[in-house]
Structure 1
C-alpha cells in the first residue's frame, strides 16, 4: 500500500521564507513488516548478494556476520540520491553487537543488480545481539517529502527565527522542530533526524562536509511528531514496523562523500 504523508499543517515557506533556500528532498521508506525477497527494496530483508563474494564479517568481532539493514534499488530512491555510475542497488549492513564507543559498525555497498548472478544466502547471525539492533524483515513504501533543517539550522538563522517559531506554535500548536522541519523514521537523503546537537562529519580524503545518505531511526514517529507525520493510510491503524531500538530510541546516520573515489562513508549515532 502506498503511503501519503499529509502536507505540512501550515505553509512553512510563507511563515519562514528564510528557510526556503535550505529545503531538501527526502525519501521516507515507511517500512512495514512483511516478507520481502532479495528482488525487493527492503529494511531487514534478504540482500541480492553475489554468491561469488564472501558475506561481510565484522572487523571487530571475528566471525560475526553483518546483518542486512537496508536494500534499495535506484528506482525506489526517487531521484533523491544519484547512484554511482553503472550502479542501481544500495546495500547497507552492520554488525549489531556491542563495540567500543560505537553502537554498530556499518558497511555500505553499491552494485549493479544485473551483474550479481547467483545470489548468496545470508549466514545466520551470532546470538547475543542487543535487543532492537537487527530490524525485522519489512517491505518498504518509498515516498518523496520536502524537509527543512531543524538542528542543522544555522545558529544565526535560528536566533532570527526563534521568536516567530514560538509565536506560530502558540497560535497553531505546531512546533517547527517536531512538526514542520525533518521527517521522522528511516529515510534516504534530506536532513538527519538529530535528537541532539549535529555531528556532521567531514571527509577524511578531501576535508569537505559529507552528504547525508541515510537515517536508520528507531521509530517511524514519536509521540511529538506523530500528529503531523503519520501517513493518511496509517491513521488509527496499528501496524508492525522494523522493531528497531537504538540506544534511547535514537538513530544511526550514514554520510558519504560523493566526489572522492569509492564514495567513502562515515556513520554517526544520536540518541
Structure 2
C-alpha cells in the first residue's frame, strides 16, 4: 500500500513567498513492519554483501551505559537501511553506483550517546553481492535494532524551520502567528520540514542545527538522510500522518497504543528520547566525505 502525505492545508508559497527560494525535495520512506528480502529496499531488513568482504565491526571504545558493549570484543554492525536507486531516484548516487547501505554500531558512542553509522555505496550490476548472514551483537539495546520494515517512498516538499535564515524568520514572525491564530496550523510544525525517516530535504532537527563542514573542501555538507525515532509527533501528526493510516473515526491518538505505534514508530527505534540521527555527505568531492549528527527532543 502506498503512503500519501496530505496536501498542506494552505498554499505555503502564496502566503509566504519568502520561503520559496529555500524549497527542497525530500523522500519520506514510510517504513512499515513487513518481510523485505535482501534485494529489496528496506529498513532493518536483510542486506546484500560481497562474500569476499568481511562483515564490518566497530572497534571503538563505548561509554558505560545500561546496555554495554562486550569488553575487548569488536561489535558487528547491524543493517539499518538499504536503498536501491530504482526506488529513490531523487537520491544523488555517486557515478557508477545504484545501492546505498547504512549500517551502524548498536551501542552508544561518546558523541551524542547514540549509534555510530557507516555508509556504503555499491554497484549492484558489477559487484559480487549475495544475501548476507551477519553476526548479531550481544547485549545491544532493542531501541537500536530496527525491526524489519518495507518502505513506501514518497516525494514531498520541504521548507526550512530551524534552517530558515534568522532575518527572514523575524520578518515573517507576525504573519506566522496570524496564520496559527486563524487556522490552528503552525508554520514550524505543520508547513515546513517533513517528519519521519527520509532522504534529502532538511534535517528534522529537534535542537539547533549542527551542520558539518567537509574536511576536504570546507563547504557545508549536504543532508543525505534522516533516521528519526517516529513518523510524526503529538503536534505534527495533523500534516505528516499519511492518508492511508488515518483512522476512519477519531484521530490517531484514539487508537490503542500498540496499534498507534505500528504507524508512528514501526521500526521500534528510540534515538536520544525521540530524537534523530542525521547523515551528511559532500557530493562536490570525489571521495564523497561522510559525517553524522544527532539530537534529542
Q: TM-score, normalised by structure 1?
A: 0.96
Q: Which residue of 2 aligns with 1:46?
A: 46
Among candidates 105, 121, 130, match of residue 116 of structure 2: 105
| Residue pairs, 1:1-271, within 5 angstroms | 1-60=1-60, 62-79=73-90, 81-102=91-112, 103-236=114-247, 238=259, 239=262, 241-271=266-296
**1:49–1:116 CA contact under 8 A, matched in 2:** no
CA distance in structure 2 between the partners assigned to 1:76 and 1:151 by the alignment? 29
Secondary structure, counterpart of 2:181 in structure 1? helix
Q: 1:77 aligns to what SS in structure 2?
A: coil
Gap runs ≥5 in structure 1: none
Q: Distance in 2 between matches of 1:56 and 1:222?
A: 34
Q: Is the 8 A contact 1:48 1:113 kept in 2?
A: no
Spell out, residue by residue over 1:218-248, the C-alpha distance to the aligned partner (whole angstroms, 9 max, x if none).
Answer: 0011111111111110101743511110011
CA contact (8 A) 1:32 1:242 kept: yes
* Pair 65,11 (structure 1): closer, same or farther in 2 beyond 3 Å: same
Contact persistence 1:55–1:122 (CA under 8 A): no
Q: For residues 43 and 37 of structure 1, what CA distance do their matches in structure 2 show? A: 11
Mapped partners of 1:70, 1:122: distance in 2 = 15
Instruction: Work out the CA distance in 1 between the residues paired with 2:57 and 2:287.
Output: 20
Q: For residues 45-100 of structure 1, what are the alpha-carbon distances to aligned partners after superposition, in whole Å with 9 as ceiling and x for unaligned?
A: 11111111111111315421101111000111132x22111100000011011222
Given that 1:98 and 1:130 are in contact with CA atoms closer than 8 Å, whether structure 2 keeps it comes out as no
User: 1-side partners of 2:144 and 2:164: how far apart?
Assistant: 30
Matches of 2:4 and 2:108, distance apart in 1: 36
Q: Is the 8 A contact 1:28 1:143 kept in 2?
A: yes
Contact in 1 for aligned 2:41/2:151 (Cα 8 Å): yes
Long gaps (5+) in structure 2:
62-72, 253-258
**Over aligned residue pairs, what C-alpha RMSD do you find?**
1.3
Task: Report the Cα offset of residue 260 of structure 1.
Answer: 1.1
Give the distance between the partners of 2:245 and 2:10, measured in 1 at CA.
21
- Tell me the CA shift for residue 118 of structure 1: 4.5
1:120 is displaced (CA, Å) by 4.8
Please state whether the residue corresponding to 1:215 is helix, strand or coil: strand
Q: How far did 1:115 drift? A: 2.3
Q: Which shifted more, 247-256 or 113-122?
A: 113-122
Deviation at 1:184, TM superposition (A): 0.6
The SS at the match of 1:76 is coil
Taking the aligned partners of 1:197 and 1:17, their CA distance within structure 2 comes to: 24
Secondary structure of 2:94's counterpart equals coil
